[in-house]
Structure 1
Amino acid sequence: MRTFLERVVVAIGALEKGNPRDWLNDGRPDATQLSRLWGATVSASVRDAAWTIAQQRAETPKSVLSRVLKKKGARFLRQVCESRQWSTARSGEDLVRIVAERVTFDEAKALEA
């Protein structure tokens, strides 16, 4: 049986992406909308806890490496490829794809650190 927090995580997944009615300006889900979906009050603190869980579950090596690209640049990812004798590419997004296909989630997180 799912906990209330777990049900809120599921409700977040049911919200329509890009619908301003469902999301706050800062990108978090609207607690009022979540309350309407479940017919029970979802407090801001429960919403925030569920949002953190939902974001963690949505992370993939590719999403982590996209952040690495923004923070450390294409040169860093190119060096990762070269040090492991993987093919390289010109665009940063291609480098993200190449590395994401070859590393685990934990390895991607280590590159982010």
Structure 2
Amino acid sequence: MSKVGAIYCKKILSLVIVTICGFIYLEQKMCLLKLGYQKANLEQAIKKQQERMEQMRYQIASLENPYRLEKEFFECNPEFTPASSVRVVKIPYREYKLQKQSPVSEDRKVLFAEEIP
């Protein structure tokens, strides 16, 4: 082989080695990016799971102690009682019945929309 052929072989060989090293480097970077992405996803999933667990603890605590809400209201307002928090409005049946407009008059005659008092 001549000197020129040996130089070309060395250059081609060095180019192949640089290309292989470049692909290895890029593959390592891609793996690191994938691992970082997976780590971020896992951290996000862990946070969501912790929030769910906290909500479940709160729900279980409220089921175990059903008067907890009443106690919290009582702590905020000492005059609070469940009966005082409900307002009952009574509507007398007769007055309601008289207020209701009927399309049939007292003499059993059907009234149209214009004739209803």
Does the alignment reach a TM-score above 0.5?
Answer: no
Higher-Rg structure is 2
Normalised to the residue count of structure 1, the TM-score between the two structures is: 0.26
